[in-house]
Amino acid sequence: MTTQAETRGRMTLAAVDDKLVLAGAIDETAVLHELTGRALGGRLVLDLAAITFINSLGVRDWIRMQAAAQKGNLAVELQRVPEPLVHQLNMIMATRGNATVTSFFAPYACDACGREESLLIDAIANAERLVKLDPPPMVCPECGAEMAFNDFPERYFSFLSV
């Protein structure tokens, strides 16, 4: 079931089945800390694939959301976390809270054709590999060649080692 999207400044929010789908920019108007009130069965599941950027005020609000979730004993699950959010999770430890990241986007580049792409990694299926800082192999959607991970794994995957 999908509810009508709600607009909060530069961000939109819609409930799709058991999760909240966020899109756009997380800033001072996002009021994320209120999302804990929409948790279902003790779980707050956020689909973040369409988030384009988060500013410092959005980061503060994100941290408040994580703190409220911890206080309320909610399990926070982050799905399809985009690169701009991964950078914040890596840069600011407090943004991680107790959340579980089940999937996230990561940068890959194709040596053969030069294409750069942000590709989705299933953090659960690839958990063993990710602990070893070994990015899963990906195929270039344009030329079919194997793509190379386009960042330092120890830097990009650091948010997984809370």
Partner 1 sequence: MRASSILIVHSDRKTQRTVQRVLGVTGRRVDIADDLEQGIQLLAHLSPVLVVVDGALSHNAEHSATIGKLIELAKERGAEACMTLLGSTAIAQMPALLRLGAVTNLLVHQMPILAEELTITAQKLIRRDLFGAEKYLLWGTELHETTLIRGSQRAEVVGALAEQVRAFGQSARVVSMAMLVADELLSNAVHNAPIDAAGNHHRKDLARADELELDARQQIRLRWGCDARYLAIEVTDQFGTLDRDTILASLAKNDVRESGGGAGMGIALAYRSCDHLVFNLAPGVRTEIIALIDVRYPPTERMSVSSYNVFVERPRGDDHTG
Question: Which chain residues interact with partner 1 by CB under 8 A?
Answer: 9-10, 25, 27-29, 52-57, 59-60, 63, 83-84, 87, 91-95, 107, 109, 116, 118, 150-152, 155-156
Cβ at position 109, least distance to partner 1 in Å: 6
In angstroms, give the least distance from the CB of 40 to partner 1. 27
**CB-nearer residue toward partner 1: 19 or 136:** 136
**Shorter beta-carbon distance to partner 1: residue 30 or 46:** 30
CB-wise, 16 or 94, nearer to partner 1?
Answer: 94
**Interatomic CA distance for residues 70 and 91, integer angstroms:** 20
- Residue 113 in tokens: 């054709």
* Inter-residue contact 145 to 112 (CB < 8 Å): yes
To partner 1, the closest distance from the beta carbon of 20 in angstroms equals 21
Q: How far is the CB of 54 from partner 1 (least distance, A)?
A: 8
Give 43 or 63: the residue with its C-beta nearer to partner 1: 63
**Cα separation of 90 and 88, whole Å?**
5
From the CB of 81, what's the least distance to partner 1, in Å? Answer: 13
Query: Which C-beta is closer to partner 1: that of 27 or that of 47?
Result: 27
